[in-house]
Amino acid sequence: MKKKVLFVASIFLATATFAQDGLTSKKGEAYLPEAGDWAIGFDATPFLDYASNGNLPGAMWVGGNNRRTPMTIVGKMFKDETTAYRMKVRIGFGGFTQENVFDTSGTTVTGEITDEAKVSRMMITLGGGIEKRRGSTRLQGFYGGEALISFGSYSEEYTYADASSGTSNGTNLHYATYTSDFNTGAITTQNPFFGQNERATKWTAGSTFILQLRGFVGVEYFFAPKMSISAEYGWGLMMSSTGNGELDTESYEEATGALGTGVESNIARKHTTGASSSFGIDTDNNGGVLTLMFHF
């Protein structure tokens, strides 16, 4: 954090040293936005982290208790020099595939086998609001209000190369209830979701909806004509709701009518995971958000 502050301070010092005093540059370019101007910006914190310590983190999918919206694009349209309409958008899709490769020596399976987990996720944020500005120098203050809505989803799908022989023989790699532990690369006998002796084949988390109504206040410094960096804090209401999820599992056990025979069948089950909701009124951006803005 100290390196980040020093980096930002160096920007201000450099512009104060080399820029012409006043609100226009030596070429006559205006520093401040004017009526009809558009602006686009983004959260500068990851890039300042990179400049100060060489670490550029990836975009986060869910903000957790800190209601920042990292990597969100910010847009503005200036009605006049002191009023701007704000827009925010983030459309994120992603996923990854992870493999678990096992040496089958000492089992009834020949050669290596590979289990596979596929993860997919999505987060969309849309927002709008109005901003008022004060100040007659390149250091401007601003305040206003906005509303944001977010939609998110998450799912995991598992494929097992060894479908089991259907008998409770300990030399079978995935006999009965054995499953892959993708966190450690090993084998476990417990379902990672709720500890039962079933292995997961697919998990779809409930869709998440988030609503934020917030007021904000901040400062913005124009270090070059129509180019600025700003810091903002907010206060407001946040409500979130996550629907029921669905978990598909399978296990190998004696089916009804075959009890005591020692012959097992693949038994598929479907489970419902509970919904959740939250509500809060509090300050946000407690980690501080720095935004780079470019005006046209």
- State phi, psi for 52 to the nearest 5 degrees: -90, -30
Q: What is the pTM of this model?
A: 0.71
Mean pLDDT in residue range 268-289:
82
pLDDT tens digits for range 181-230: 776 767 666 666 666 667 788 999 999 999 999 999 999 999 999 999 99
Q: HSE, CB side, 13 Å, CA atoms: give it for residue 28.
A: 0
Answer whether 123's CB lies under 8 Å from 147's CB. Answer: no
Range of the domain at 238: 2-295
Q: Residue 59: pLDDT band by 50, 70, 90 thresholds?
A: very low
**Cα 237 from Cα 55, distance rounded (Å):** 32
Q: How many domains does the chain have?
A: 1
End-to-end CA distance of the chain: 31
**Cα 208 from Cα 5, distance rounded (Å):** 35
Answer whether 131's CB lies under 8 Å from 79's CB. Answer: no
**Cα 26 from Cα 20, distance rounded (Å):** 6
* DSSP secondary structure, 119-159, as one string: EEEEEEEEEEEEEEEE-SSSEEEEEEEEEEEEEEEEEEEEE
- DSSP 8-state class, residue 214: E
* DSSP secondary structure, 26-62, as one string: TT--BSS--TT-EEEEEE-HHHHHHHHHS--PPPPS-
Mean pLDDT in residue range 152-168:
73
Identify residue 142 by its one-letter amino acid code.
F
Answer whether 177's CB lies under 8 Å from 251's CB. Answer: yes
Mean pLDDT in residue range 59-81:
63
